[in-house]
Amino acid sequence: MEDKKAREILEHYKYEQNQLIHILQDIQTEYRYLPRETLSFVSRELKIPLSRVYSVGNFYNAFSLKPKGRHLISVCLGTACHVRGGKRISEEIERVLNVKSGGTTPDQEYTLETVNCVGACALGPVIVVDGKYHGQMTSAKAKKLLSAMKDSGGNGKNGKNKKS
């Protein structure tokens, strides 16, 4: 199978086997996950075993072998966030989006995940939406943020409800 985007990425890295992690990062950025067909293509083109490509793709948490939504929502459940209601916030987001943690909405718009720590304990509870931190979160604020995201078609920055 010919994969034009993957070929461009491989050309950028001059088909160097030692650039596999960077190649997979770029593929992940392009597709929001590592498609099976693309990994097979990379394996053939770099002349390395598919098992090695999968090994790298499975080892690093930054990589996903399952499709992710256009928007990534990470709910911190580290100790500080957990004791301040992080679990309730996660459950509210699950309810509003109708998706369980670790899943993606059927329309491929949102992926919800829980993480052990985002390194912003003083702001807890924290959710991270597309890389933007939202601290001192509550279930009500999370619901408002999701509504703003849906209204704006983005991460809530241009929606009617800008505050989190």
Q: Give, in order, the Cα–Cα distances in Å from 35 to each of 31, 68, 154.
A: 8, 11, 24
List the chain domain ranges. 4-59, 71-152
Residue that the structure tokens 């990994």 belong to: 39
**pLDDT-above-70 percentage for the chain:** 91
Task: Please indicate if the annotation marks 109 as binding a ligand.
Answer: no
Q: What are 31-90's pLDDT values in tens digits?
A: 889 999 999 999 999 999 999 999 999 998 789 998 889 999 999 999 999 999 999 999
Phi and psi dihedrals of 154, rounded to 5?
Answer: -145, -140
What pTM was estimated for this model as a whole?
0.73
Residue that the structure tokens 């597309």 belong to: 130
Task: Please indicate if the annotation marks 76 as binding a ligand.
Answer: yes
Per-residue pLDDT at 155: 52
Q: How far apart are CA 46 and CA 160, in angstroms?
A: 48
Task: Please indicate if the annotation marks 81 as binding a ligand.
Answer: yes
Stretch 112-131: mean pLDDT: 93
Closest by CA to 41, choosing from 63, 66, 59, 24, is: 24
Q: Are strands 110-115 and 132-134 parallel, antiparallel or unpaired?
A: unpaired
Q: How far apart are CA 41 and CA 53, in angstroms?
A: 10
Q: Does domain 71-152 have CATH number 3.40.30.10?
A: yes
Task: Please indicate if the annotation marks 130 as binding a ligand.
Answer: no
Per-residue pLDDT at 2: 57
Per-residue pLDDT at 5: 92
